[in-house]
């Protein structure tokens, strides 16, 4: 990649929901946002409080479809414990022509389904919201981020490597 040229520019994307392709039917994909949950703390002797890292907020995603797919709508409100697999695929290209394939894998459930407004002559949309219990992001088949209820890994390295052992997860 030549220096000072844009890299990893998203050129196209699609979505698979519960192993079914929605190519050509996905208008927008909003991947889960990893946001640090903080709280102010001031111990004895401190002249000002400081924010401490308490973990992460829930990881939610959203998807907008240009189709009114009954199979997709039927996935809303499934009973507790049934997680839906969702995979977003992206085609990225550097300005020097090098191509990259990206993938975001999520597991969780739909929390909202908005069938939108139906109007003759306009494209109908179906907006959904999804809570991801776990998700992983890959670029060129290498895992760059992994998040679940107990751990965050960046490039395969755990954020808190001794935590699983200390809490007897393994």
pLDDT of residue 146: 96
Task: List the structure tokens of 109.
Answer: 């459930």
Which residues in the chain come in under a pLDDT of 70?
1-2, 78-81, 170
Domain that holds residue 89: 9-166
What global pTM score does this model have? Answer: 0.86
Q: Rounded CA gap, 164 and 97, in Å?
A: 42
Task: List the structure tokens of 66.
Answer: 């240009």
> 32 φ, ψ to 5°?
-60, 140
In a domain, 120, yes or no: yes
pLDDT of residue 40: 95
In a domain, 2, yes or no: no
In a domain, 33, yes or no: yes
Q: Rounded CA gap, 1 and 22, in Å?
A: 32
CATH number at residue 117: 2.40.30
Could you tell me which residues come within 8 angstroms of residue 23 by beta carbon, excluding any fewer than 6 positions away?
A: 14
pLDDT of residue 42: 93
Number of domains in the chain: 1
In a domain, 4, yes or no: no
């Amino acid at each position: 990649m030549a220096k000072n040229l844009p890299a990893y520019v998203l050129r196209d994307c699609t979505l698979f929901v519960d192993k079914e392709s929605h190519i050509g039917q996905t208008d927008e994909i909003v991947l889960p946002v990893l946001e640090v949950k903080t709280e102010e703390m001031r111990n004895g002797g401190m002249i000002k409080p400081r924010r401490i890292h308490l973990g992460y907020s829930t990881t939610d995603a959203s998807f907008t479809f240009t189709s009114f797919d009954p199979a997709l709508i039927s996935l809303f409100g499934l009973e507790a414990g049934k997680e839906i697999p969702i995979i977003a695929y992206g085609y990225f290209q550097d300005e020097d022509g090098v191509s990259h394939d990206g993938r975001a894998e999520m597991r969780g459930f739909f929390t909202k389904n908005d069938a939108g407004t139906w109007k003759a002559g306009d494209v109908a949309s179906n907006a959904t919201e999804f809570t991801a219990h776990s998700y992983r992001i890959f670029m060129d088949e290498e895992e760059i981020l992994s998040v679940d209820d107990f751990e965050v890994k960046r490039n395969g390295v755990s954020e808190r490597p001794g935590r699983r052992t200390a809490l007897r997860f393994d």
